[in-house]
Amino acid sequence: MSCSCGLPSREECQELFYASSIKEFSDFQYAKMNRLKVDAYALQHPEIYMVSAKSFAAHLVGMCIAMEYHNDQHLMKALQKWLNGKMELEKPPILTYFGSITIADIMKAKSASEYERFVTDWAKCVWGAYAIYHQLAREWVRLVREFDGNRL
């Protein structure tokens, strides 16, 4: 059975994800790309990693913060706090196309700088595939900011 991202099998895809994580955990030069990689991977595999409305929001907003808010770490921390709260979110319908770049493409990187570039390109591709939800992501970022402002 092929993977939702287009790779020949779900197992092969998951093995590549694990291999990328091992690379990141064993070399700090790769580690800085972990969050962006996880969000891109989750957005390409929503049937597994975005089952609930909260998990959908976590990965969509995480990607939005990376792409449109220069990976603002304060916003990322506020997102985690916001997601820990009780809230009513409606999960939007899952897409059927998630972009043409996959985990297999980033694993072709020969150096940490190339890995960083490949993950960034992958994230941009996936973010583009989710264009229909960009406004929703921005609205959720606004809610995260409001929530964070009310906690100060």
pLDDT tens for 57-111 read: 999 999 999 999 999 999 999 999 999 978 889 999 999 999 999 999 999 999 9
| pLDDT (0 to 100) of residue 62 | 98
| Whether the predicted pLDDT of 152 surpasses 60 | no
For 134, counting Cβ atoms within 10 Å of its Cβ (0-12 exposed, 13-18 middle, 19+ buried), the class is middle
Q: What's the DSSP call for residue 133?
A: G
Residues 128-147, mean pLDDT to the nearest whole number? 96
Token pair, residue 121, equals 């390109």
> How many Å apart are CA 113 and CA 76, to the nearest integer?
23
Over residues 5-64, the pLDDT tens digits come to: 888 899 999 999 999 999 999 999 999 999 999 999 999 999 999 999 999 999 999 999
Per-residue confidence band for 148, with pLDDT thresholds at 50, 70 and 90? confident
Average pLDDT, stretch 104-126? 97
Contact 129, 98 (CB under 8 A): yes
| Continuous segment of H or E residues that includes residue 43 | helix 34-44
DSSP 8-state code for residue 89: -
83-88: long-range contacts (C-beta < 8 A, 24 or more apart)?
Answer: 83/54, 83/57, 83/58, 85/147, 87/54
Mean per-residue pLDDT of the chain: 94
Question: Which residue shows structure tokens 């929503």?
Answer: 46
CB 44 within 8 A of CB 5: yes
Task: Using pLDDT thresholds of 50, 70 and 90, give the confidence band for residue 151.
Answer: low
pLDDT of residue 150 exceeding 80, the answer is no
